[in-house]
Amino acid sequence: MGSLFRVSLSWGGSLTGILLFVALWEWGSLNYGSFLLPGPRDALASIKGFWQQGELWGAVWATTWRAMTGFALASLAGLVLGLMAGLSHTLGRALEPVSTVLLGIPPIAWIVLAILWFGSGSMAAIYTVAATTLPVTFAGAQIGARTLDKRLQEMGDVYRVPGWMRLWDFYLPHIVSYVFPALITALGVAWKVTVMAELFATEEGVGAGLAMARVNLDTAGAMAWILVVVALLLVAEHGFLRPLQKKMEPWRQGATQEKPC
């Protein structure tokens, strides 16, 4: 009963924040006119319009596919490279500056390069997403691999734990708690960069829709596409990544319930 109350309270808290934001938006729209700042209802109406014209799902699918492919490639490569860099100091020293360089290159520069290398299309968007999110997951995995308790490693030595088991039973479960926050950050970056890449490099997708809205001076349409991207990000984070983390870290559940002090 108490937990139900707490859950509804926390949901109510989040909802209050969202409603406040929407109210502010509505107020701004009433104040500045619906051409400069179309209200939430205009945006929703635009989304409905895209849906009726059959543009919505195609764009959502194209953007999701690109963002997820780039994100998956970067996560996998970042995890493997970060793990190796965390385990070997030499490799860590060699890869760290590379990661910093990648982190320093603005996404927009990657888009230009990607269009030059791969031409316009999905490939350019996927490449840009992968290149910008790789350093984030790399850093998470590297720190995770570095911070495994030395005492656990010594215990592993005493019990002569073989290499594959160290990876599976010692390193990976520990790294998960460092990699997931990094993945969630990377996921947000992935959507944003995908939309930006689409704006320049593709004919379809949310970014392309935004480009179209710009050409048509359709502010409500632009707002509508923004809403769509935010919704996609929320679904991916709370519908996929967070439940996955819960599933992968059952030992973290209940840690707070057991010891109330």
Partner 1 sequence: MLNLRNASLELGPNKILEAVDLCVQPGESVCLVGPSGCGKTSLLRVAAGLVEISDGSVENGFVCTAGVFQEPRLLPWRRMLDNIALGLKARGVPRRERLDKARELADSVGLADKYTLFPHELSGGMQQRVALARALSIGADFLLLDEPFSALDVGLRNEAQELVQHLVVERGIASLLVTHDLTEALRLAHRVVVISGSPGKIVYEHQVNEPFGSRTQTWLYEAAADLLRQPVVNECFLYKPHSEVA
The residues of the shown chain that bind partner 1, judged by CB under 8 A, are: 151-152, 154-155, 157-162, 165, 169-170, 173-174, 249-251, 254-255, 258
For the CB of residue 5, give the shortest distance to partner 1 in the complex, in Å. 25
The answer to whether residues 10 and 24 touch, using CB atoms and an 8 Å cutoff, is no
For the CB of residue 1, give the shortest distance to partner 1 in the complex, in Å. 23
CB nearer to partner 1: pick between 93 and 246: 246
CB nearer to partner 1: pick between 97 and 160: 160
| Residue 50: how many other CB atoms lie within 10 Å | 19
> How many angstroms separate the CA atoms of 234 and 231, rounded?
5
By C-alpha distance, which of 135, 110, 137, 79 is closest to 193? 110
By C-alpha distance, which of 207, 239, 259 is closest to 58? 207
State both tokens at 179.
């990699």
For the CB of residue 80, give the shortest distance to partner 1 in the complex, in Å. 20
> How many angstroms separate the CA atoms of 190 and 182, rounded?
12
CB nearer to partner 1: pick between 13 and 151: 151
Distances (CA, A) of 204 to 125, 195, 208: 12, 10, 5
CB nearer to partner 1: pick between 52 and 259: 259
State both tokens at 56.
């919505």
> What is the separation, in whole angstroms, between the first and last Cα of the chain?
20
Q: Given the structure tokens 């019990």, which residue do they identify?
A: 159
For the CB of residue 141, give the shortest distance to partner 1 in the complex, in Å. 16
For the CB of residue 152, give the shortest distance to partner 1 in the complex, in Å. 6
CB nearer to partner 1: pick between 215 and 255: 255
> How many angstroms separate the CA atoms of 19 and 87, rounded?
47
CB nearer to partner 1: pick between 166 and 192: 166
For the CB of residue 139, give the shortest distance to partner 1 in the complex, in Å. 22
